[in-house]
Amino acid sequence: MSAAVASLLALFLAIAVSCFAPINVGFVAIALAFLTGHYWGGLTIAEIAAGFPNSLFLTLVGVTLLFSLAGVNGTLEKVAGHAVRLARGNRGVVPIVFFLLAVLLGASGAGGIAAVALLAPIGMSLAAGLNISPFLMALMLANGGNAGTFSPIAPTGIIARDLMGRAGLHGVEWANFFNTLGVQSLIAFAGYFLLGGWKLFQGGAHHAAAIEPVEPFTRAQQSTLVTIGAVILSVFVLGVDVAVAAFLGAGVLSALRAADEERAVKAMPWGVILMICGFTVLIGVLGKTGGMALFTGLLARISGPQSITGAMALITGAISVYSSSSGVVMPAFLPAIPGLIEKLGGGNPLAIAYAINVSAHLVDASPLSTNGALCLACVPAEADRRALFRKMLAWGLSMTVVGGVVCQLLWG
């Protein structure tokens, strides 16, 4: 067996593990990278280790640490509580407020998963108290988190920028963010109103008592808000590197004793960070052994230059239902774009990248994905979780087709 074939089989095995085994595929990917790269490909350990994305790792650690500090000291929870009061008890407005809040928190740097993890306990409980369909609330929460997740300072946006840069697509992080924001928002609101959200506006504001008052921000929480605001301004206005700004912000909060450092470090999504970095190491081995050329050759056989955008959206969406969007699908498919365009003899690389990013996250309201699972886990005990599971799974599966059609229409 050639090194190219061995590395390609290792990629397929890693994807299968991510879909069906409850283990961190990052560890598996690194092990497979050393096995196939060293023993089949003749690469040195240093050559394989060089594929570890050091810059991406530091950026993800800095950003997630900053927002983990803001999470453990209660700042983000209070922001959510104050925002919910804007609905003034109007049942139809409440899920919309949670959607917008998930977008805001996710795009500000917390990321989609962190935003949903924070908001789901509040939102799903409030939905039960206001007699709002848990499915509609979960739909708006999950899609809201995904709508903001490609912000240039959010973890998934950082991952996309790094991977797209390696594929030769530079300076498109804002376009990538707004494309995802637009598609996710359109589909979320269409689903919300078509599946019964419009009925919630008929009840008026008779349930305001269910929305409880929120305590004022403490001094530590005020310091946290100011620090996060300074980090965001330094990145977008002054052009400071995201990793530098995030670590400086985290350092300031630590110096001020604004949060429990130990709790914050433990709360960071280390498993996701290692999954992404581990998969990137394996993709690096594919590039050095010729496995990536075989992979792009297989992808090129499924379609032509005119229909590859929709086809890639359909494939990545289907895989993402059962696997990690940012940890597996994006690292596996975005680096393959240049070779795919070469094999096809044409096509728009940027359009394919947009399709991969959008379709991989459209399905994440499924209970098999992190955002959907968080919403399902936060449903009160008296609710029918089986019924909610079926509805969310049906929605997630349907988004594979919807994503393929929408991406082909927009960028095909």
In this prediction the pTM is: 0.77
Half-sphere exposure of 2 (CA within 13 A, CB side): 9
Residue type for position 22:
P
Contacts of 190 (CB under 8 A, 6+ apart): none
Residue % of the chain over a pLDDT of 70: 96
Predicted local confidence at residue 87, as pLDDT:
67
The predicted-structure confidence for 25-54, as pLDDT tens digits, reads as follows 888 889 999 999 888 888 899 989 988 888
| 3-class secondary structure, 7 | helix
* Phi, psi (rounded to 5 degrees) for 207: -120, 25
End-to-end Cα separation, the chain, in angstroms: 37
Among residues 53, 45, 46, 48, the alpha carbon closest in space to that of 7 is found at 48
201-249 pLDDT tens trace: 776 554 444 556 678 889 999 999 999 889 888 888 888 888 898 899 9
**Containing structural domain, residue 181:** 3-411
Give the whole-angstrom CA distance, residue 67 versus residue 75.
10
Nearest in space to 10 (alpha carbons), one of 28, 38, 25, 32? 32
- Rounded Cα distance between 393 and 272, Å, is 22
Domains: count for the chain: 1
| The pLDDT value given to residue 216 | 85
pLDDT per residue as tens digits for the range 333-385: 898 888 888 888 877 899 999 999 999 899 888 887 778 887 887 787 677 77
pLDDT in tens, 290-322: 887 777 777 777 777 788 888 888 888 888 877
